Amino acid sequence: MIGNIVSVLLWVVATDFPTFLASRVVGGLSEGNVQLAIAIATDVSTPETRGATLALVGAAFSIAFTFGPMLGAFLASKTISLENPFAAAAVFSLVLLVVETVFLYWKLPETRPPNEEPSEVEIQLKRENKSEKVEDEKKLEGSPEGSSIVPLNLTHFLFLLIFSGMEFSLPFMTFDLFNYTSTDSGKLLGFVGLLASVLQGSFVRRYPPIVVVKTGLASAAISFFLLSRVNTQLQLYVAAAFLAVTSACVVTSLTALVSFRTSEKNRGRALGGFRSAGKFILLLCFANC
């Protein structure tokens, strides 16, 4: 969080492109807080509730990505510095980050204390519940405990390789087909984000992660098929509805499955590697655009 604050401080004072670029570099190096938040969510949830807990995290992202750009566009219209036309948005971001950091410092407990020795009662309870927990995880996971997460990482990598390319190309397609302005594209993406947040708060929370992943991948295939044959805006929004299902289901539930296949001790590292594969693909797509 301190890294994010430094990043936005550089953005506030940026009057040239190199300074702004330095701001984004620092911000990128501080993105580990997302993986940590997901690891914390898995720490404070049981195997039975983990999918639902991660679905709430996904819903928060969907809502933020729906309303964040609109808020940013509004703040970009407010000029508080002639040298930095986006200073209003930067200052607002800085205030949010400082408030969040203070809140985390005072209110966020350590979910996995590294040096805490378990009591005899905890050891006994752990022994008694070990077999039951293993069986529960097997049922939720659909595969033996300790199975390799390589297939899940590969699925995540290949999915984002295709899906991210589509997301970055969608505004160009809508412009070519329907002369969409940035406002029109914002409405379309807002529709996707709102529908995805509703699905994550309902369907994704209630069903096993493996079922949700399969549903999301099937929806991806349907949406790509429909997008390849779009002729009207109605058809575009139908395809976008399936994209929302995909966006709501796949990554969140793959993350839950990865958490099931790793021990508590190694979960943070495993989730970090899982998310890093996705970040690498997003970087490639952005560079190509």
Q: b vs e for 97-108, b when ≥16 Cβ sit within 10 Å of the residue's Cβ?
A: beeeeeeeeeee
Is the pLDDT reported for residue 116 higher than 60? Answer: no
Answer whether residue 79 is part of any domain: no
Answer whether residue 238 is part of any domain: yes
Answer whether residue 18 is part of any domain: no
247 near 61, Cβ under 8 Å? no
Is the pLDDT reported for residue 248 higher than 70? Answer: yes
pTM over 0.85: no
Answer whether residue 51 is part of any domain: no
Answer whether residue 159 is part of any domain: yes
Is the pLDDT reported for residue 127 higher than 70? Answer: no
Q: What is the pLDDT of residues 203-247, one digit of tens each?
A: 988 899 999 999 999 999 999 999 999 999 999 999 999 999 999
> Looking at the 3D structure of the chain, how many domains does it have?
1
Where in the sequence is the domain holding 194, given as residue range(s)?
147-289
Answer whether residue 48 is part of any domain: no
Answer whether residue 210 is part of any domain: yes
Question: 7-11, 17-21, 128-132 — which is least confidently predicted?
Answer: 128-132
In this prediction, residues 126-148 reach a mean pLDDT of 49
Contacts within 8 Å (CB) and 24+ apart, 32-41: 32/272, 33/1, 33/4, 34/275, 35/268, 35/271, 35/272, 35/275, 36/268, 38/255, 38/271, 38/275, 39/267, 39/268, 39/271, 39/272, 40/108, 40/111
Residue whose tokens read 């529709």 = 191
Answer whether residue 219 is part of any domain: yes
